[in-house]
Chain A
Amino acid sequence: MKKGILYLNQFFGQIGGEDKADYAPAIKEGVVGAGLLLNNLLEDAEITHTLICGDNFMGSNQDEAVEKLLGFLEDKEFDIFFAGPAFQAGRYGNACGVICKAVKEKFNVPVITSMHEENPGVDMFKKDVYIFKGGDSAAKMRKDMPKMAKFGNKLLKNEEIKGAEVEGYYPRGIRFEVFLDDETPACDRAIDMLLKKINGEPFVSELPIPELDRVPIAPAIKLADAKIALVTSGGIVPVDNPDKIQSSAATRWGRYSIANLERLGNKAEGAFKTIHAGYDPAAADADPNVVLPLDALKAYEKEGKIGSIHDYYYATVGTGTAEGEAKRMALEIIEYLRNDGVDAVILTSC
């Protein structure tokens, strides 16, 4: 028999109403209040413990609440964690999201909650937590709890998960390929979508355009004093590619000294080349400075146009490179740039 733990607020944990919203974190053995329903719905698992915390306590003392609640769990064995449902209650929704995320990070078990679409907790935590689409008030308990339990049963039995829409949780921004059960080929899906679009009927795009992550243009700096670094996704590396950066879909990057160089030597000289598989390498192999313009930057330095050049350059390959990997690599590179007091970066592609 698998084991689960449930988080409830003071109200659903039967401590009391709004007057008990400051109730400090507690753990109780077995099921309390709404937990009874969940326990009955789980097929091959039982709720062994219930965590309870007042919504205001969590709201005003979040770090302390989380620390205490996680502390209660340290000596417990459990396979799954539930919270709520939180319906449209904003503070409760936040609490469910906070504790689910923390439990997932610390204990690496699946975490499940439920909220109404207008609960602010949905947008705050849908990327980290399975949040099921729930009703707006406690009157929907008998509808919402079974959805959580059903999915929990599925996870515990390692059954195939069919995606956010089919299962009923909010999309988490995680996209994977699936084979369609009905095997409708893409051409037929396209014609069907096109006819609907022509006729003004509703249709569902298979790739909804996500919100764009735009970076504002940074404020200007004084170039004459600035330390400038060169970073490239154009795949310029020492000829032996010491960090084995991949030619496409890169997950690796390298940091290479240019401290004593006036310009980058080329492939024939055994110095630098490109490993980028997304463009014709001929020009970059003959003169890597066309992708990583060290020669031009050195000239600026001599003219006094810029203060200095950072002693290292940073390189990866930007073809077929997942945007998430690119972001991670950038954050890793930024640490070096910050530590070395770099003021500005010239980012070149290919």
Chain B
Amino acid sequence: MKLEIGNFQVRSIEFGETSSYMDGTLTINKKEALAVVREDEHITDADIVLTKPGDDVRIVPVKEAIEPRFRLNGGPIFPGVTGKIERVGSGKAVALKNCSVLAVGKHWGSFGDGLIDMSGEGAKYTIFSKLNNICLVADTDEEFERHEQQKKNHAIRWAAHRLAEYLGSIVKDMTPESTELFELGPITKREKKVNDLPSVVYVMQPQSQIEESGFNVLNYGWDTNRMLPTYMHPNEILDGAMIGASYMCCSSKWSTYDFQNCPTIKSLYKEHGKTINFLGIIMSNLNVSLEQKERAAMFVQQIASNLGADAAIIAEEGYGNTDADFIECFRLLEEAGIKTVGMTNECTGSDGTSQPLAALDVSADAIVSCGNVSTLIELPAMGTVIGELESLMRDGLSGGWEDDDVLGPSVREDGSIIMANDSMFCGDSVLGQSIKTVKEF
């Protein structure tokens, strides 16, 4: 497969008469953009708010992030989500870089939602603080889940996907400033010198633990809970096959933006033909019952073995219960003689002394640790809040609380906050961008 992404570096964003892009400035016709958002009648209230790195701004509750894209050979950017099903990973697309569309609740948050600070101490905790953000702040008529801790957030997440596609369309007839080429041929048709290199698979375990549809990561619109591990081409991941989940503690979460820009895939591409033969992706999942966990790990082992993988990188979107899926998969890959490196985050408790993963095995001897969900973070008030600050403590966000004997509430009257890293929006970047690790103290 051969995928060409034409990039436009967005340096500033403003509202204007006509949606356009020129010399790094993206201009958005707000009315037109909101009309795209309002295509779904379940959106009852919507606004677009712009913010950039360095602003005295806090954004919460953030439900999803997407890089604006447009597919030049027709077809939706997210097949099975913003349009019909069709295979992605080939052809040409354009992308607005250095920016993201954020789906933000006007009032209501849920367990998997997160927080982003655009400046100050809090800005170091998530890569989304370094992007120009187009915040879709919306409310919906999804009354059935208004006061539920677990929300599907369907209307607002889908509206953000449509908005990202609309914004991408602004540059569809323009010449990109630069082009990224992703090309990887069929496994049996590669040159001998490539085939002679150690072959590597990338095993992805996206979040799929909720039995009811609507909460989990989607693969071409299909709920990953209903899926057995399967082989995929890396370009499919980069080109919109995967949609981030609504469920999962937020710092562990992989947003759609993270899938579109998966740094580990890009690094594997870079090494392909030099130090490794990159075989592709085994898309697995994370399960609830032990039998499901074992079945998925068994499939991963089987696919990796029969592809002839010598080595694997395995990444887990979650912690706690899902550590069992991660460790079992790690163990079975090692058992099959496949040299494996794991990528995950840890939960060591506020005093740092808890067992870092809920499941452990001696075979997991090579792990890159991307962060600690338990890290306590205390931050001053910010001048402006996009969304609703109270949601952090009121709505059951994984890293916020209403009250605590020692720490008090997560949100204080003066607007300052104390929270666990758990709710930093996609903060642990297990897909590869994390510059954090966890060390012994």
Question: Which residues from chain A sit less than 8 Å from chain B, CB to CB?
Answer: 161, 163-165, 171-180, 183-191, 193-195, 197-198, 203, 205-207, 209-210, 212-213, 244, 246-249, 251, 277-282, 319-325
Shortest C-beta distance, B349 to chain A (Å), equals 3
Contact of A248 with B372 in the complex, beta carbons under 8 Å: no
Contact of B349 with A194 in the complex, beta carbons under 8 Å: no
Q: Say yes or no for B436: interface residue by CB 8 A criterion.
A: yes
Complexed CA–CA distance, A280 and B152 (Å): 12
Point out which of A161, A174, A177, A183 has the most chain B C-beta atoms below 10 A from its C-beta: A177
Shortest C-beta distance, B286 to chain A (Å), equals 12
> Interface-forming stretch among B27-35, B128-136, B340-348, B382-390?
B340-348
Complexed CA–CA distance, A205 and B339 (Å): 13
| Residues of B with C-beta under 8 A to A279 | 209, 288
Contact of B346 with A175 in the complex, beta carbons under 8 Å: yes
Contact of A280 with B210 in the complex, beta carbons under 8 Å: yes
Q: Say yes or no for B365: interface residue by CB 8 A criterion.
A: yes
Complexed CA–CA distance, A187 and B202 (Å): 11
| Residues of A with C-beta under 8 A to B350 | 322
Contact of B321 with A278 in the complex, beta carbons under 8 Å: yes
> Interface-forming stretch among B1-9, B227-235, B398-406?
B398-406
Contact of A210 among B266, B347, B356 (CB under 8 A): B356
Contact of B356 with A207 in the complex, beta carbons under 8 Å: yes
Bitwise interface map of B from 206 to 243 toward A, beta carbon under 8 Å scored 1, else 0: 00011110000000000000000000000000000000
Other A-B contacts than A174-B441, A175-B441, A320-B320, 15 sampled, CB-CB below 8 A, are: A172-B441, A178-B439, A185-B263, A186-B370, A186-B430, A186-B432, A190-B368, A193-B368, A197-B340, A198-B276, A198-B310, A198-B339, A210-B355, A249-B420, A320-B422
Contacts known (A178-B438, A190-B341); A209 close to B368, Cβ less than 8 A: no
Q: Say yes or no for B306: interface residue by CB 8 A criterion.
A: no
Contact of A172 with B440 in the complex, beta carbons under 8 Å: yes
Point out which of B198, B401, B440 has the most chain A C-beta atoms below 10 A from its C-beta: B440
Contact of A210 with B360 in the complex, beta carbons under 8 Å: yes
A–B Cβ pairs within 8 angstroms, 16 of them: A161-B441, A163-B441, A164-B440, A174-B353, A175-B440, A177-B372, A186-B343, A186-B368, A197-B341, A207-B364, A210-B356, A210-B360, A247-B111, A320-B373, A322-B349, A324-B355
Complexed CA–CA distance, A281 and B151 (Å): 12
Complexed CA–CA distance, A183 and B440 (Å): 18
Contact of B433 with A206 in the complex, beta carbons under 8 Å: no
Q: Say yes or no for B187: interface residue by CB 8 A criterion.
A: no
Bitwise interface map of B from 401 to 441 toward A, beta carbon under 8 Å scored 1, else 0: 11110000000000000001110000001111111111111
Contact of A174 with B352 in the complex, beta carbons under 8 Å: yes
> Interface-forming stretch among B37-45, B79-87, B267-275?
B267-275
Closest 10 pairs between A and B when the two form their complex, measured CB to CB: A322-B349, A187-B432, A171-B440, A322-B354, A177-B372, A163-B439, A207-B367, A174-B352, A324-B354, A323-B354
Contacts known (A246-B401, A277-B396, A322-B349); A180 close to B436, Cβ less than 8 A: yes
Complexed CA–CA distance, A205 and B367 (Å): 5
Q: Say yes or no for B205: interface residue by CB 8 A criterion.
A: no
Complexed CA–CA distance, A328 and B358 (Å): 16
Contact of A195 with B275 in the complex, beta carbons under 8 Å: yes
Contact of A187 with B264 in the complex, beta carbons under 8 Å: yes
Contacts known (A209-B365, A277-B150, A277-B396); A320 close to B441, Cβ less than 8 A: no
Contact of B212 with A280 in the complex, beta carbons under 8 Å: yes
| Residues of A with C-beta under 8 A to B358 | 323
| Residues of B with C-beta under 8 A to A247 | 111, 149, 396
Q: Say yes or no for B371: interface residue by CB 8 A criterion.
A: yes
| Residues of A with C-beta under 8 A to B435 | 179-180, 183-186
Q: Say yes or no for B116: interface residue by CB 8 A criterion.
A: no
Complexed CA–CA distance, A163 and B438 (Å): 10
Complexed CA–CA distance, A174 and B440 (Å): 5
Contact of A322 with B348 in the complex, beta carbons under 8 Å: yes
Complexed CA–CA distance, A244 and B310 (Å): 50
Q: Say yes or no for B351: interface residue by CB 8 A criterion.
A: yes
Shortest C-beta distance, B312 to chain A (Å), equals 8
Complexed CA–CA distance, A190 and B367 (Å): 8
Contact of A178 with B365 in the complex, beta carbons under 8 Å: no
| Residues of B with C-beta under 8 A to A187 | 263-264, 266-267, 431-433
Shortest C-beta distance, A324 to chain B (Å), equals 4
| Residues of A with C-beta under 8 A to B156 | none
Contact of A197 with B339 in the complex, beta carbons under 8 Å: yes
Shortest C-beta distance, A96 to chain B (Å), equals 21
Contacts known (A203-B366, A320-B249, A325-B354); A175 close to B439, Cβ less than 8 A: yes
Q: Which applies to chain B's interface (DSSP): helix, strand, loop or mixed? A: loop
Shortest C-beta distance, A179 to chain B (Å), equals 6
Complexed CA–CA distance, A319 and B323 (Å): 12
Contact of B434 with A185 in the complex, beta carbons under 8 Å: yes
Point out which of B310, B402, B432, B435 has the most chain A C-beta atoms below 10 A from its C-beta: B435
Complexed CA–CA distance, A282 and B276 (Å): 47
Complexed CA–CA distance, A279 and B360 (Å): 22
Contact of B439 among A164, A278, A321 (CB under 8 A): A164
Contact of B437 with A178 in the complex, beta carbons under 8 Å: yes
Complexed CA–CA distance, A333 and B24 (Å): 61
Shortest C-beta distance, A176 to chain B (Å), equals 5
| Residues of A with C-beta under 8 A to B374 | 249, 322
Contact of A205 with B365 in the complex, beta carbons under 8 Å: yes
| Residues of B with C-beta under 8 A to A195 | 271, 275-276
Contact of B438 with A175 in the complex, beta carbons under 8 Å: yes
Shortest C-beta distance, A206 to chain B (Å), equals 4
Contact of A197 with B311 in the complex, beta carbons under 8 Å: yes
Contact of A175 with B352 in the complex, beta carbons under 8 Å: yes
| Residues of A with C-beta under 8 A to B422 | 248-249, 320
| Residues of B with C-beta under 8 A to A321 | 320
| Residues of A with C-beta under 8 A to B95 | none
Complexed CA–CA distance, A174 and B375 (Å): 12
Q: Say yes or no for B50: interface residue by CB 8 A criterion.
A: no
Contact of B432 with A177 in the complex, beta carbons under 8 Å: no
Contact of A190 with B264 in the complex, beta carbons under 8 Å: yes
User: Whose C-beta in chain A lies nearest to the C-beta of B407?
Assistant: A251
Q: Say yes or no for B143: interface residue by CB 8 A criterion.
A: no
Q: Say yes or no for B362: interface residue by CB 8 A criterion.
A: yes
Shortest C-beta distance, A265 to chain B (Å), equals 21
| Residues of B with C-beta under 8 A to A161 | 441
Complexed CA–CA distance, A190 and B438 (Å): 14
| Residues of A with C-beta under 8 A to B355 | 210, 213, 323-324
Complexed CA–CA distance, A328 and B208 (Å): 31
Contact of B362 with A165 in the complex, beta carbons under 8 Å: no
Bitwise interface map of B from 123 to 156 toward A, beta carbon under 8 Å scored 1, else 0: 0100000000000000000000000011000000
| Residues of B with C-beta under 8 A to A203 | 366
Contacts known (A177-B375, A187-B432, A209-B362); A320 close to B353, Cβ less than 8 A: no
Complexed CA–CA distance, A322 and B321 (Å): 12
| Residues of B with C-beta under 8 A to A188 | 267
Contact of A191 with B347 in the complex, beta carbons under 8 Å: no
Contact of B360 with A176 in the complex, beta carbons under 8 Å: no
Shortest C-beta distance, B135 to chain A (Å), equals 25
| Residues of A with C-beta under 8 A to B403 | 244
